[in-house]
A = this chain, B = another copy of it.
Amino acid sequence: MGTSERRTVRDLRRGNRAMLLRALYFGGPASRNELSGATGLSAATVSTMTADLLADNLVVEAGQVDSDGGRPRVLLRVNPAYGYAVGVDVGETRVSVELFDLEMKEHARAHYVVRSARHDPELVARHILTGVEAVIAESGVPAERVLGVGVGVPGIVEPGPGALVRAKTFAWEAVPLGTLLRAGTSLPLYVDNGAKTMGQAELWFGSGRGTREAIIVLMGSGIGGTIVTGGTIYRGAGRAAGEVGHLKIVAGGRPCRCGARGCLEAYLGAEAILDRAGIVADSADEEAALAGLLESGSPVIRESVDLLGVGLSSLVHLFNPERIVIGGWAGLMLGGRLLDEIRAATAANTLAQPFRPDSVVLGRLGPDAVALGAATLVIEAFFGDAALRDPVPTIA
Interface residues of A (CB under 8 A from B): 1-9, 12, 15-16, 18-19, 22-23, 26-27, 38-41, 156, 166, 210, 212-213, 227, 229-231, 234-253, 258-262, 306-307, 310-311, 313-315, 317-322, 348-351, 353-354
A23: chain B residues within 8 A (beta carbon): 1-3
Chain A facing B: main interface SS:
loop
A18: chain B residues within 8 A (beta carbon): 2
Chain B's closest residue to A262 (CB) is B310
A237: chain B residues within 8 A (beta carbon): 212-213, 320-322
A348: chain B residues within 8 A (beta carbon): 260
A247 x B1 contact (CB < 8 A): no
How far is the CB of A351 from the nearest CB of chain B, in Å?
5
B1 x A27 contact (CB < 8 A): yes
Known: A23-B1, A26-B1, A248-B314. A40 touches B7 (CB 8 A): yes
Known: A348-B260, A353-B166, A353-B240. A3 touches B251 (CB 8 A): no
When all copies of this chain in the complex are counted, the total is 2
A15: chain B residues within 8 A (beta carbon): 4, 6
Closest 3 CB pairs of A and B: A236-B320, A2-B22, A240-B354
How far is the CB of A392 from the nearest CB of chain B, in Å?
24
Given A8-B12, A250-B250, 9 more A-B residue pairs with CB atoms under 8 Å apart are A3-B40, A156-B353, A243-B351, A248-B249, A248-B310, A248-B313, A251-B253, A251-B306, A251-B310
B2 x A19 contact (CB < 8 A): yes
29 A-B residue pairs with Cβ-Cβ distance under 8 Å, sorted by A, are A1-B22, A1-B231, A2-B18, A2-B19, A3-B23, A3-B38, A4-B15, A5-B6, A6-B12, A6-B16, A8-B12, A213-B237, A227-B318, A236-B320, A238-B353, A240-B353, A241-B319, A242-B320, A243-B317, A243-B318, A246-B350, A247-B314, A248-B310, A249-B251, A250-B251, A251-B306, A260-B350, A261-B349, A314-B314
How far is the CB of A275 from the nearest CB of chain B, in Å?
17
How far is the CB of A106 from the nearest CB of chain B, in Å?
23
Residue A9 contacts which of B9, B306, B321 (CB distance < 8 angstroms)? B9
Chain B's closest residue to A235 (CB) is B320
A8: chain B residues within 8 A (beta carbon): 12
How far is the CB of A202 from the nearest CB of chain B, in Å?
15
How far is the CB of A382 from the nearest CB of chain B, in Å?
14
Tell me the complex Cα distance, A252–B350, Å: 13
Chain B's closest residue to A350 (CB) is B260
A320 x B259 contact (CB < 8 A): no
How far is the CB of A260 from the nearest CB of chain B, in Å?
4
